[in-house]
Amino acid sequence: MIVTIINYGLSNLLSMSRAVRNLGHEPVVTSAPKDVDKAEILILPGVGAFKDGMDGLSHLELVEPIIKKARSGCPLLAICLGMQMLFDESDEFGVTKGLGLIPGRVERIPDLNVRDERQRVPHVSWNGLYPPDIGFVDDPRSEGTEDNFGSTLLLGAQPGDEVYFIHSFEGKPVDNRHIAAVTYYGGRRICAIVSNDSVFGTQFHPEKSGAVGLNILKNFLSLHKSPS
Amino acid sequence: MILGQMNEDRLIKDSMRPKVRLVARLDVKNNYLVKGIHLEGLRKMGDPNIYATDYYNQGIDEILYMDIVASLYNRNSLGDIIKRATEDVFVPIAVGGGLRGIEDVRGTLRLGADKVTINTAAIKNERIISEVAETFGSQCMVLSVEAKRRPDAMGWEAYYDNGREHSGKDAIEWVRRGVELGAGEILLTSVDQEGTEHGMDFELISKVCAAVNVPVIVSGGCGGAPDIAAAALSGASAVAVASVLHYKKADARSLKEQTLAKGVNMRL
């Protein structure tokens, strides 16, 4: 199966391609709107600044094709800056509009932790993934279950499994139902995975997160439906 | 583990002390992994990718490749090595040595590096720090600082060209300046301790970590878990290890287990 990876000039595309190939699929890296139009499954990677990312997508006339594709039910996985671009807007260098596929906004990680002590930003760390409803003590799920998170992306993952984060901004969904996993930094929750129908976003880098990350990618790629 | 029993208060508390990363540092010369002492007297070890893959399988958190002669000869011979590394190493890869400008950085990232470390070029022209940060994001721009104690014990001086040349800059001031200009992370190498496995310069580490609020990777002199734990207590976000791993005195997993046992949060 062909996995379409969107190139808008701002990512380590080789690592993503290699991860896709490692899982037995064929990556196609493209900047062409027509390739996005006919894609069966899409990955939107990204590192760097929000405005540069959105400018890159606009310049290549990719904004509308991506939105259209995502709304049509084509599985889309957006990573790091890509995930942030799924939101309505970001504070980074003034307010910039995003793709609007996940209601909410992107804000800077505070310089102080909950004890008002200085914390390091960017958040660069391997950090654990936890179900968003972990605070509820009556959770019936237990060890031995494949589905600990209630998300396709995290089938087979255990709460606390670690993935690689590197970011200064965080996405804040308006609707808690769009949060598929969280992590914790400086005493606060940070949204680690968003999902909305066939649209997924990971704040961390699955292609840089060892076996746990590759499993997340594999779960995503399993959403591919052969064209009928 | 029953999820319902997992206590969110504990997760919140743990998150005040982020996990410390263990970084394998691979100094490369002419396609060989080498190891020296005080960045000198190099010994040829073998194919860097074999070492990198081993460390990945042992659970290393990050790989750092340093082309240690590139600054002298103005070139970077790491290309093929990095390109091969990303085939089977799925953790972050940082690359440094001889990168002179935006185009060198772009080329290195295109080969599969996630971030670059820059020392010599930044000392010669500090504008490169802002240029890299603005073009690729500050998370990509790791300022590499090689610090050596001044003979009069009045602080540390920043060196370049792999610890050979002195810049006249105070290392702590230089780190501060680098972060102002957009560096998103610091790679701090103690030239005095490098390659000795005799412990790290914890005073230097504390001063640098207190001076800035970006993550600091510390390198030079790590002899095992007690040093990793002490570096973490001094404020380091990541510890680079070379000799201990290369000479197989410990593997990454056992280093992490021993460090965890000392109460430092690490990924296993």
pLDDT at B75: 65
Side-chain-facing half-sphere of B11: CA atoms under 13 Å:
22
Q: What is the pLDDT of residue A12?
A: 76
CB pairs under 8 A between A and B: 147
The residue type of B54 is D
For chain B, how long is the longest CA-to-CA vector?
59
pLDDT in tens, chain A (228 residues): 999 999 998 677 899 999 999 999 999 999 999 999 999 999 999 888 888 899 999 999 999 999 999 999 999 999 999 999 999 999 887 899 999 999 999 999 999 999 999 999 999 999 999 998 865 444 545 555 788 888 999 999 999 999 999 999 999 999 999 999 999 999 999 999 999 999 999 999 999 999 999 999 999 999 998 765
CA distance B83 to chain A (A): 9
| Chain B residues with CB-CB distance to A117 below 8 A | 16
CB distance from A175 to chain B under 8 Å?
no
B interface test, pick of A12, A21, A90, A111 with most B CB neighbours within 10 Å = A12
Rounded to whole angstroms, the Cα distance separating A2 from A21 reads 10
pLDDT of residue A17: 95
CATH 3.40.50.720 fits B21-261, yes or no: no
Chain B neighbours among A 36-65 (CB < 8 Å)? 47-49
Tell me, yes or no, if B237 comes closer than 8 A to chain A by beta carbon. yes
Amino acid at B136: F
Helical residues (DSSP H) of B27-119, grouped into ranges: 48-58, 70-73, 79-88, 102-110
Query: Could you state, in order of their start, the residue ranges of all structural domains in chain A?
Result: 2-221
The pLDDT tens digits for A182-214 are 999 999 999 999 999 999 999 999 999 999 999
B153 touches chain A (CB under 8 A): no
Q: Is A74 known to be catalytic?
A: no
Site of tokens 């510890």: B239
> CA-CA-CA-CA torsion for B84, B86, B91, B94, nearest 10 degrees?
70
Contacts of B83 in chain A (CB under 8 A): 14
What gap in Å lies between CA B124 and CA A61, rounded to an integer?
A: 40
Looking at the DSSP bridge assignments, the partners of residue B232 are: none
Whether B139 sits inside 8 A of A122 (CB atoms) is yes
pLDDT for B1:
45
Q: Do A184 and B184 touch (CB under 8 A)?
A: no
Copy the structure tokens of residue A173. Answer: 């969904």
A2-221, which class in CATH?
alpha beta
Is residue B90 less than 8 Å (CB to CB) from chain A?
yes
Identify the CA nearest to B37 among candidates B247, B254, B259, B248: B247
d(CA A122, CA B215): 7
Residue ranges per domain, chain B?
21-261
ipTM of the predicted assembly exceeds 0.90: yes
Local structure of residue A4 (DSSP, 8 states): E
- Which of A213, A212, A221, A147 is CA-nearest to residue A180? A147
Output helix, strand, coil percentages for chain A, rounded to the nearest 5.
Answer: 25, 30, 45
Could you give the 3-state DSSP secondary structure of residue A118?
Answer: strand
Chain A residues close to B264, C-beta within 8 Å:
none
Q: Is A80 a catalytic residue?
A: yes
Tokens representing residue A119 in the block: 């914390």
Distance separating alpha carbons of residues A111 and B40, to the nearest angstrom: 39
Closest residue in B to A141 (Cα–Cα): B3
Helix B171-180 crosses helix B202-211 at what angle (to 10 degrees)?
A: 30
Q: Of residues B62, B146, B161, B201, which has the active-site annotation?
A: B146
Nearest to A125 among B4, B18, B137 (CB): B18
- pLDDT tens digits, one per residue of A158-169: 999 999 999 999
Q: Which residues of B touch A116 (CB under 8 A)?
A: none
A191 is catalytic: no
Exactly one of A74, A80, A92, A170 is catalytic; name it.
Answer: A80
Residue A23 at interface with chain B, using a CB cutoff of 8 Å? no
The torsion angles phi and psi of B207, rounded to 5 degrees, stand at: -65, -45
Q: What's chain B's average pLDDT? A: 91
Q: What is the pLDDT of residue B43?
A: 86
Look at residue A138 in the predicted model and tell me its pLDDT.
Answer: 45
pLDDT for B2: 47
A47: Cβ contacts below 8 Å, ≥ 6 apart: A10, A11, A12, A80, A81, A166, B114, B136, B137, B139, B140
Q: List the single residue in A122, A125, A159 with the smallest CB-CB distance to B6.
A: A159
Q: How far apart are CA B207 and CA B184, in angstroms?
A: 18
- Cα separation, A213 vs A153, whole angstroms: 10
Residues 6+ apart with CB under 8 A from A102: A86, A87, A88, A171, A173, A178, A194, A196, A199, A201
Q: CB–CB of B15 and A141 under 8 A? A: no
Q: Does B17 touch chain A (CB under 8 A)?
A: no
The residues of chain B scoring below 50 in pLDDT are 1-2
Q: Give the residue from chain A lying closest to B62, CA to CA.
A: A208
Judged by a CB distance cut-off of 8 A, whether residue B57 touches chain A is no
With beta carbons less than 8 A apart as the criterion, state whether A66 and A184 touch. no
Q: What distance in Å separates the CA atoms of residue B254 and residue A167, rounded to the nearest whole number?
A: 29
Radius of gyration of chain B (CA): 18
Angle made by CA atoms B76, B208, B231, in degrees to the nearest 5: 90
Say whether residue A73 is in contact with chain B using an 8 A CB cutoff. no
The phi and psi torsions of A38 (rounded to 5 degrees) equal: -100, 10
Q: Which candidate from A15, A18, A124 shows the least CB-CB separation from B215?
A: A124
Q: Which of residues 165-224 of B touch A (CB under 8 A)?
A: 184-185, 213-215
* pLDDT digits 0-9 by tens, B124-163: 999 999 999 988 889 999 999 999 999 988 899 999 998 8
Residues of B in contact with A168 (CB under 8 A): 138-139, 184
Residue in chain A nearest B92 by alpha carbon: A208
